[in-house]
Amino acid sequence: MRFKLTIEYDGSRYAGWQLQSKDRSVQGELIDAATKVFGMRPTELYGSGRTDAGVHAHGQVAHLEVQNDLRLTTEQVKIRLNDELSHDINILLVEKASPKFHARFDAQERIYVYHISKRRDAFAKKYVWWVRDKLDIRAMRAAAAVLTGFHDFKSFGAASSEPDQSTLVELKRLEITEDQDRIYITVAGSHFLWKMVRRIVGVLVETGRGRFTSDDVERFLNQQSQEPARLTAPPSGLFLEQVIY
């Protein structure tokens, strides 16, 4: 039987989503929990994408395949899995899925939101990037407009375990909003290169500081540059917000 799981997690204590041989991962914790609930290791447990160490999720999606005749409702599966999980991983929804459903390959759009704090925060250090400098939001939005659309983002991606992966990506949405002491950068696309979102954020922040112009940002798209890599934003502020199918 195959289930679709919608999951939230605090990534602070984990070495990312992907299963690790030595370190704790979100995928590994879910596999362990499912093994205890169903009495056997899942046949499959795949997420919509890999979040890095320290990155969080409000709406990660995974599919869980188990070969078991336990007659549990989806609500019972959710409750039992959550009972086995640590407090910082929570399954929000369990749904029955088609045997052909794949959390990664069937995803049409992934939405990330990066949280920037304008001030020091005693409670949210693990969930924001505190940028001390005053940022020019208008300049950041102009740069975001340059990055939106279909481009070669080779300057913004890190080498991954998929060396043949195309660096051509369509950014469907790149929006910057403010709410009191917070700045939110929303990034939506069909897929992303490894570290691409955090490097986009880093470049936008430097543009807000006055270091770059929109012309500089356009140059990063037209000519490969190591500059975005040096400006990779910390993982703490990044959340996988939603996956659309």
Domain 2-96: which topology? Alpha-Beta Plaits (3.30.70)
- Do residues 235 and 57 lie in contact, with contact meaning Cβ atoms separated by under 8 Å? no
Is-above-0.85 flag for pTM? Answer: yes
Structure confidence by residue, pLDDT tens digits, 201-215: 999 999 999 999 999
For the chain, the domains span 2-96, 109-244
- Do residues 91 and 81 lie in contact, with contact meaning Cβ atoms separated by under 8 Å? yes
Residue 225 has pLDDT above 70, yes or no: yes
Q: Which CATH class is domain 109-244?
A: alpha beta
Q: What is the mean pLDDT of the chain?
A: 95
52 in catalytic set:
yes
Q: Residue range 145-161: average pLDDT? A: 89
- Catalytic residue, from 10, 52, 181, 215: name it: 52
2-96 matches 109-244 in fold: yes
Task: Look at residue 163 in the predicted model and tell me its pLDDT.
Answer: 61
Residue 161 has pLDDT above 70, yes or no: no
Structure confidence by residue, pLDDT tens digits, 111-142: 999 999 999 999 999 999 999 999 999 999 99
CA 204, 242, 9, 167 torsion-angle sign: negative
